[in-house]
Structure 1
Amino acid sequence: MRAERFDEPLAQRLADARHAPRDGEIVLYWLGQAGFVIDTAQARLLIDPYLSDTLARKYQGTRFPHTRMMPAPIAPHEFDRVDRVLCTHRHTDHMDPGTLQPLAERFPALRFVVPEASLDEALRRTGAGLDRLISVDAGQRVPVLDDCVVTPIASAHETLDIDEDGRHPWLGYVIEVHGVRLYHSGDCVPYPQLHERVRQARVDVALLPVNGRDAIRGGNGVPGNFTLDEAVELARAAHIPAMIAHHHGLFDFNTLAPETIDARIAREAGALSIHRAQTGCAWRIGPSTRTDG
């Protein structure tokens, strides 16, 4: 995985054919919080895009006003193409009506991959019809585009929950494109079976939240995520060669300082390559060369 810095606006970068992925290559861009662009030569996917101020309007005047620390790097109407949007769960910074509805209107053929346990909420938040939703649950293997398969893994946010029908409301996704496997955990904390489930997926790159959790946030309805050390431990235990640390830098009450992440990166030794999610950076991933089982 190779990181490239750039200065132009993300919309300009995505529309410029000179920077397009080559055949068999994946290019990642961070959208802030847990959001990413997954670009290939054939298709463009977004996962958990939060590109609005929905939460700032909802929580204005409260203890946690959800004021942005960073602007959205792109607006929904600035995308020249989106083929699929994946949402890991129903929380607004992952399933945002202020982002999803404009995208659904701009791209009539766009479909959304959502947890089956939150299908009704996804219908409301996307504003799209049922025929445009691809509902999934943990343990399935679901083709979502040509040469793109999604395998959901249950997440614990902060608890490992199931609904009355045995479905999981919090999901992570293993996204297999061109033989490369990306794992986006959604919002998650460690639980006993997670390392082995992810290891069995033979992941090439993990996209993991690192904002942690504490009693103050939890007591005010803000469930947390992996600490940075827990995310690194998961990547190592699951034999993942590279990870990108995200879910930081958007809300001041729910973040991790970039220098803390950079210091952890600087002292990392061994086979794991750690990157801090940041705007103005593209990560190019070539075909998988994994040979382990």
Structure 2
Amino acid sequence: MKTILAQELLPEEAALWWLGQAGYVIRSAGLTIAIDPYLSDAAGRGSPEFSRQYPPPVAAEELEADIYIITHDHLDHLDPETIASLRNKGSARFVAPRLAARKLPALGVPAEQTIVLNAGETWRTEGVEITGVFALPTGADVLDTTGYIVTFGNGRSVYHTSDTQFHPLVLAAAPHAPDLMLVPINGKWNNPGPEQAAEFAKAVRPRFVMPNHYDMMALNAENPAVFKWCCEQQGLGSNCVIAERMQSFIWS
């Protein structure tokens, strides 16, 4: 985490670090934002087939962000062990949809630090604007699933689709031409596979698109090279970026 916080950025730049699965840290305009950090093995404790295939790239107690965004209440997105271990829960802000937000007080997040943000709603604070984006839930247990687009004060923008089914209404509700799109490609449990994710990206037209949700669990894996190939077939080959965990991706 020290490396992330020490990264020097020009005023117009943003940087992103992939934590694995669907988790990221983003820095821009003087702010640090974490989205869906999964830094434990919570999903694997009750279901060994979903155990992590590699250790967390950063310890949860070392993670430090100004804003934490939670997209929905699945253990690999709203990770109770990670959230409970965060050291700055009293000062950071937490953004989550309505049902997921209800889980946060029991994990030590003060109610006054939580912003309930559903699809179609926008929250602004100094240096950033965050808007909830419609996602089609992948199960009845996460009906409030919400994607988010983060737009920093310098104009840099990131669209995290959350887990979502591939559907024309999802495409219609998605933001147009963000800087960076983060999309699942595992193709299981109602998430899009590589071909559908590439079609999704073609509809959104981001400057860059990164796949996620394919690397951590043996039973829930996919080859990102397939997504890269599908992007090439959609004319998005140069837009596709296959991230390396904890390696900075910087753009302006």
Common topology (TM > 0.5): yes
Is residue 254 of structure 1 aligned with residue 220 of structure 2? yes
State the partner residue of 1:25: 13
Q: 1:206 aligns with which of 154, 165, 181?
A: 181
Q: Distance in 1 between matches of 2:88 and 2:110?
A: 14
Residues 1:170 and 2:140 are matched in the alignment: no
Partner of 2:128 in structure 1? Answer: 148
Picking from 92, 103, 107, the partner of 1:110 is: 92
- What's the secondary structure of 1:51's corresponding residue? coil
| Shift in CA distance, 72/184, structure 1 to aligned 2, threshold 3 Å | same
2:163 and 2:191 in contact (8 A); partners too: yes
Which runs of structure 1 show a deviation greater than 4 angstroms over 4 or more consecutive aligned residues? Answer: 262-268
Structure 1, gaps ≥5 residues long: 1-10, 214-222, 287-293
Match of residue 191, structure 1, among 135, 160, 167: 167
CA RMSD of aligned residues (A): 2.3
How many percent identity over aligned positions? 25
Q: Secondary structure at the match of 1:156?
A: coil
SS at match of 1:93: coil
Secondary structure of 1:121 counterpart: coil
Task: Give, as a single letter, the amino acid of the residue that structure 1 aligns with 2:173.
Answer: R
Instruction: Note the alpha carbon deviations across 1:78-132, whole angstroms, 9 max, x for none.
Output: 23x31110000011100011111111x34530121011133322333x3212111
Matched residue SS, 2:241: strand
Instruction: Give the letter aligned to residue 72 of structure 1.
Output: P
Change (3 A) 1:206 1:54: same
- Cα separation, partners in 2 of 1:259 and 1:171, compared to 1, 3 Å: same
TM-score with structure 1 setting the length = 0.78
TM-score, with length taken from structure 2: 0.90
Change over 3 Å in CA distance of 1:139–1:106 after alignment to 2: closer
Residue of structure 2 in register with 1:49 after alignment:
37
Aligned to 1:291: none
For the residues of structure 2 that align with 1:58 and 1:174, how far apart are their CA atoms?
32
Q: SS at 2:168's partner residue?
A: coil
CA shift in 2, pair 1:134/1:269, >3 Å = same
Q: CA deviation at 1:195?
A: 1.7
* Structure 1 residue 40, shift from structure 2 partner: 1.8
Cα pair 1:139 1:151 within 8 Å, conserved: yes
Task: Provide the rounded CA distance (Å) in 1 between the counterparts of 2:184 and 2:242.
Answer: 10
**Equivalent of 2:193 in 227, 230, 241:** 227
- Measured in 1, the distance between the counterparts of 2:236 and 2:55 equals 35
Contact conserved, 1:25 with 1:40, CA < 8 A, in 2? yes
The one-letter code matched in structure 2 to 1:45 is I
Count of residues in Structure 1 that have an aligned counterpart in Structure 2: 251
Alignment counterpart, residue 68 of structure 2, candidates 77, 85, 96: 85
Aligned residue identity for 1:182: V
SS at match of 2:220: coil
CA contact (8 A) 2:129 2:150 kept: yes
Q: Which amino acid aligns with 1:136?
A: L
